[in-house]
Amino acid sequence: MALADPTRRHLLDRLARKGPATVTELADGLPISRQAVAKHLVQLAEAGLVEAGDADGRRVPYRLRPEPMRDAHAWLGVLANQWDDRLSALQSHLEGS
């Protein structure tokens, strides 16, 4: 469910491209509030996809946890291959009809 939301995917992409960032930095340029970004980060953290770093005063940097992303990528690759095999079988069947 964590990856189903486009805002959460955007946050993950931002963290992957630019590294750790605070809620304020992640909210910059988004059409949602910092509080909404914080709620999305909580969901991503609960899914194990991000983690909060050590606080520097009120600033808490969030960073991507790449291990779960690698696992998801590997699983999606297997799933894609299964679909490719099924679609190829369907195409062969339809062409043989």
- Helices 34-46 and 6-18 sit at what angle, rounded to 10 degrees? 80
- Do the Cβ atoms of 52 and 65 come closer than 8 Å? no
pLDDT at 97: 65
Provide the 10 A C-beta neighbour count for residue 46. Answer: 11
Per-residue pLDDT reduced to its tens digit, 66-85:
888 888 889 889 999 999 98
Chain position carrying tokens 């369907």? 90
User: Where would I find the H helices in 19-65?
Assistant: 23-27, 34-46
Higher-pLDDT residue of 58 and 30 is 30
